[in-house]
Amino acid sequence: MPVQHRKSNPLHQAQRLSQIERFILLGLSLDEMAERLEVSKKTVQRDLKTRIEEWSNDIERSTAAYRQSILSELGRLYAEMTKDTTTARAQGESTYQYGHARIEILRMIGKITGAEAPVKIDVALNVENMVRLLPESELLRIHNRTALVDAQIMEAAA
């Protein structure tokens, strides 16, 4: 007759997870945890894996929320800086300090979004020595952003 596995009761599993967390702080081994909980070592491993996945998901969600709040604030600052630049320009005042601040904001946004990360270029070792580059749309976007920043710097210097 095949071995029948018991379905895990969510209430028991939640209690075990709570106990396992305490056991971790006490420095118990998996075998000791299993013995105290009166379950198999595999059950402790499965419960521990479940808890680690939950913690990992919580960390990812909180990190994403934190990153989004920073990006929102940087976007607000960038919009405010753009408005101040327009006002200063209309009044004939220097806009150099605004241009520099806007560049710094863009730099921070690049760091947070990962747009500033190094790009890996694969070089094929065949006769043509082909290089896989960024998509053309990305190159165009980078070119346009660079041209905009250059224009602001030139305008500020004038």
Closest CA to 112 of 154, 147, 72: 72
Same domain, 17 and 64: yes
88: CB partners within 8 A, 6+ apart:
94, 95, 98
- pLDDT by residue (tens digit) across 93-144? 888 777 778 888 888 888 887 776 665 555 444 434 433 455 667 667 777 8
Owning domain of residue 151: 118-158
Amino acid letter for position 80: E
Same domain, 24 and 82: yes
Same domain, 108 and 123: no
Same domain, 36 and 94: yes
Per-position DSSP letters for 65-82, written without gaps between them:
HHHHHHHHHHHHHHHHHH
Q: What's the number of domains the chain is made of?
A: 2
Torsion angles phi and psi, residue 123, rounded to 5 = -110, 120
Same domain, 25 and 85: yes
Residue 88 lies in a domain: yes
Same domain, 111 and 124: no
Residue 113 lies in a domain: yes
- pLDDT by residue (tens digit) across 22-64? 888 888 888 999 999 889 999 988 988 888 888 888 888 888 8
pLDDT at 74: 85
Residue 2 lies in a domain: no
